[in-house]
Structure formats: structure tokens, C-alpha cells
Amino acid sequence: MELAALCTDPFVLSCTFLCLLLHLALRSLHTTTSGRRPHPPGPSGIPVLGALPLVGPAPHTGLASLARKHGPVMYLKMGTCGVVVASSPGAARTFLKALDARFANRPAMASAADITYGCQNMVFANYGAKWKLMRKLSSVHLLGPRALADWARVRRDEAGRAVRGMAESARAGRPVAVAELLVCALANIVGQITVSKRVFDAQGDESNSYKEMIVSLLTGTGMFNISDFVPALSWLDLQGVQAKLRRVHSQFDGLITKLLAEHAATAHQRAREGRLDFVDKLRASNDQDEEGETITEVNIKGLIFDMFTAGTDTSSIIVEWAMAEMLKNPSIMARAQEEMDRVVGRERRLEESDIANLPYLQAVCKEAMRLHPSTPLSLPHFSFEECEVDGYRVPANTRLLINIWAIGRDPSAWEEPLEFRPERFLPSGPAAKVDPMGNNFELIPFGAGRRICAGKLAGMLFVQYFLGTLVQGFDWRLPDGEEKVDMGETFGLALPKAVPLRALVTPRLVPDAYA
């Protein structure tokens, strides 16, 4: 149900009136301490809902518009929650570097709890000993440089399957659905390295249903849900978000439970053969750490949930946007392919070791992350302590959102920010030294600070390798009758294309390269 419709519903109006009375009663009990600094500037909003109606259906653009009026550090009252929004590189640096420790927690959110086993995963867990343990084990056994090197064969095999599937589509004259192809491949990679199982035999109805499930979870979690900002109304589930998320999560939990059951049945065989996967290593290392924390079975489910959601759709979204931009700008595609031919040739497929010698491919990936970040708004941070920013007071119990989308389009940080120009990231370009790994706040697709995405290295590798594989292996064109690429967005926790990209491909390597 749209927010505008909610505001005219008699039942909602009654609830709103009761909440307004409660709001006024609580406000009458509150006294302002004289001499205190003001909050950062921001819109005043309306009673009870605060600034929620002002944000609109696409909060990343709505908040960016409000920031142009109120400034890069903006304070909004949303429901009963205080929210501070950072919309410039400097503002992001202040919160994620100078004040990083204070904003390392996550707020309590009904929508997040519904899908993450009560926030027992790494992404939504509060900062503390359990989170540190999950983060450490994930880095050592799955997401760190050594672990990524150990699983290079799996990535190469799945890329090969994807390429063969595309070559078959080319022979049949069928368009390739880019997102569906990538999600199937990436889900199989995650499945093999976590529970030693390819999740899907091939791209089809089963893998497409999985993609729809991921999209529903990310869209629902990213929505500005009234229940998350007015907890007193959460039992009403006014937008139906929680009910939908619980249904989808039940499906996802069924998949995870089935995978873990099959995994347990083959544990002895893997131990004998010495081929332990992520879950095996979690269980093998599950003695108490120095702070007495252990990884529970619920934590294991939560971590698998993180890997499948963050490890599939977010990476595929970036690759799909990059392909869409290159179809819009054929000269960029031609330059990327020329570099591939010069460095790799057409007698073999791209290897991960080639990426270091492909600066233009790297530049295309960075530019896609700048203009189309897979996560447009950071996951919300939360501080229990009051702090001061630019002479303003940010009260305790405030949520923090970093508008990554707005920062990537900030005209004070980027020349011609709305243009897709990979050249800006080349060694001779103005952004040559800007890196997306969290140190340069002009480009933070993975976030920054303590809560930076644990899978940033894996995400960057997936995007570069799979985009390079698609560009090197095939020539691309839109299906007959389609004259331009639809560049509309669908807002959620992630930011996929509103109209999935489909294109006809023609193989450009020697036939043996697709074998």
C-alpha cells in the first residue's frame, strides 16, 4: 500500500490520532536544556510520521533532494526515531572515520529481525564480541585474500558454465537475461564454498525463483517501513511489509535448512578427503574465543543467509548496470574489448590473474559502482551516545544513513557526475587514486569504517571477473525492435534495474575457448 493511500485510510487516521495524542503528551514532559547546540538542519515533517512522507518512494533520491536544501549533514525526525543523513564525502568521512566507533551499532528494526533470525547474522548484529567473532571467521575462511585464492577454481568453472550457456543462446538466437545468468552463477559459487553444493543445475525456473526471492527480501528490507520508525504501530504492519518478508524468509529458511541437512549427511566424506568448506570450518573452530563467544547453529544460518543475499544479487546488479551503460555507449564497449584483445587475446578466456593488466576494465567497474551503487543507502548505523558534528548536536539514540548514491553524484567531488566516464579512473584521469575499498570517501560502494562490507574483496573480484568475461567473450546488441536501454531503478536495500537487461550475443573467441 502506498504511503499516500495510508494517510487517507480511516483506520490509519484513527491510529495516527491516538499516536499524536501520545506524542504531544510525551513532548509536554520533555524539557529542553538551555544553551545546548541545535540539531543539524532538516525538514520539520508532520506529527507522528515526521519526515517519512517527505522521503518518497525512492528514499535515496528523496534524501538527496532534501540535502540540496538543508545541507550534507541533515537531521530528520522519522516517526519516533531521530535520523542523521550524510550526503557528501566530507560528511561521510566525519561519521565513518572520526565518529566510527560511536556509530558502529545497528538499530532495532522489525523488518531486519524478521529475515535474519532475530539479527543473529553478521550484517545486522550489534557491534560486540559475537559480531567480531563472526567477522573474523568469515574473513579467515571465506572472504579474505587466502580464502579467495583457494576457491579460484570454483569461480572459473562457474564462469565457464555461464559462457557455454550464453554461446548456446547465441546459436539459438535467444537473448541473454544478464541478471538471471549472473545470479545463477554466483549462487552456485556461494553454495560450493559454503556447503559444498551447486544450488542449481542450470539457469531456469528454479534459479529465477531464487532471484525473485532475493529481490523481494532486499526490496522489503530497504523500504522505509512505518513499523521500523514507529515501533508502537509495528503490530499493525500497515504496509504489509513484515508479513511479506516473513513469507519470503520462510522460503529462504527452507532452502538453507535443506542445504544444511544435506551438508551434514556428507560431513564424514569431506573430512576423509580433506576438502572442508566454510560451514565445516566454522564448526571445527567453534571453541569459545577469549571473550567466551561461540557460533551457534542459528548464527551459521544467519551467515549463510548473508553470503547468499549479499554475495549474489549485489554483485550481479553492478555487472548488469555496467553492461547497460556499455550498450548505451558502444565506444566504451569497443575500448574495453580492444584492451581485452591486446592483453588476453581471443584464443583463451579471461583469467583472474589478467585483471591487474586491464586498467580500462577496472575503470569501468569503478564507474559503475560510482553511478549505480548496488546499495544506494548504507545499512543504518546507530549511536547510543550524543556527539557533535560541524557545531551541531546529534543526540543519543540516533540512526545514521550514508547516502552512497548521492555521494557518487556529488558535483563538488565529481566532474560531470551524471556522465558514465570510466576514463576518470584511468592512471591519467582525475580520479586515478580513488579506490572503492573504503579509504576514499568519494567512492564507498562497500561502506567504510568498522562496518564496511566484509565481502568487499570478493565483491570487487566477482564484478571485475564476470564483467570482463562477458565483455571479452561476446559482442552485444539489443534485441530487434528495442532502440534504447531502459535505465530506470527499483529502490530497495539494493538498487537493481527496473527493467532487467536482455541482449543478443555473438561469440568473439575461438570455438575452443567456450568448451
Give domain status of residue 4, yes or no. no
Give domain status of residue 32, yes or no. no
pLDDT at 3: 42
Hey, how many other C-beta atoms are within 10 angstroms of the C-beta on 250? Answer: 10
pLDDT at 30: 39
The sheet that has 474-477: what strands, in order across it? 176-177, 502-507, 474-477
Work out the pLDDT band at 19, boundaries 50, 70, 90.
Answer: very low
pLDDT at 290: 61
Work out the pLDDT band at 235, boundaries 50, 70, 90.
Answer: confident
What is the tens place of the pLDDT at every residue in 40-57?
A: 999 988 888 999 999 998
Report how far apart the first and last C-alpha atoms of the chain are (Å, whole number): 49
Whether pLDDT at 31 is above 80: no
Kindly write down the DSSP assignment for every residue of 255-311, as one continuous string: HHHHHHHHHHHTHHHHHHHT---HHHHHHHT-S--TTS----HHHHHHHHHHHHHHH
Backbone angles phi, psi at 387, to 5 degrees: -150, 170
Work out the pLDDT band at 35, boundaries 50, 70, 90.
Answer: low
Give domain status of residue 30, yes or no. no
Whether pLDDT at 214 is above 50: yes
What is the tens place of the pLDDT at every residue in 419-432?
A: 999 999 999 999 99
pLDDT at 133: 94
pLDDT at 8: 47
Give domain status of residue 410, yes or no. yes
Task: Report CA-CA distances (Å) from 487 to 325, 372, 421.
Answer: 9, 10, 16
Looking at residue 349, what DSSP letter applies?
-
Whether pLDDT at 398 is above 80: yes
The SS3 assignment for 492 reads coil
Give domain status of residue 257, yes or no. yes
Above pLDDT 70, what percent of the chain? Answer: 92
Whether pLDDT at 208 is above 80: no
Domain that holds residue 302: 38-514
Whether pLDDT at 164 is above 60: yes
Whether pLDDT at 199 is above 80: yes
59-69 mean pLDDT: 96
Give domain status of residue 506, yes or no. yes
β-bridge mates for residue 388, sequence order: 393
**pTM summary value:** 0.90
Counting the structural domains of the chain, the total is 1
Distance between CA 33 and CA 13 in Å, rounded? Answer: 33
What is the tens place of the pLDDT at every residue in 327-346?
A: 999 999 999 999 999 999 99
176-198 mean pLDDT: 93
208-233 mean pLDDT: 83
Distance between CA 493 and CA 313 in Å, rounded? Answer: 11
Whether pLDDT at 258 is above 50: yes
pLDDT at 14: 45
114-118 mean pLDDT: 89
166-178 mean pLDDT: 96
Give domain status of residue 191, yes or no. yes
Burial class (CB within 10 angstroms; exposed 0-12, middle 13-18, buried 19+) of 330: exposed
Work out the pLDDT band at 457, boundaries 50, 70, 90.
Answer: very high
Q: Give the chain's largest Cα–Cα span.
A: 77
Whether pLDDT at 207 is above 90: no
pLDDT at 505: 98
154-180 mean pLDDT: 96
407-424 mean pLDDT: 97
Which domain CATH number covers 79?
1.10.630.10
Backbone angles phi, psi at 430, to 5 degrees: -70, -20
Give domain status of residue 7, yes or no. no
Whether pLDDT at 289 is above 80: no
Known binding residues for heme are: 453
How are the residues of the chain apportioned to helix, strand and coil, as percentages rounded to the nearest 5? Answer: 55, 10, 35
Residue-averaged pLDDT of the chain: 90
Whether pLDDT at 206 is above 80: no
Q: Which of 459, 426, 437, 420 is nearest to 359 (CA)?
A: 426
Q: Are 179 and 506 in contact (CB under 8 A)?
A: no
Of 174-183, 200-209, 385-394, where does mean pLDDT reach its minimum? 200-209
pLDDT at 305: 92
Distance between CA 503 and CA 204 in Å, rounded? Answer: 17
151-159 mean pLDDT: 96
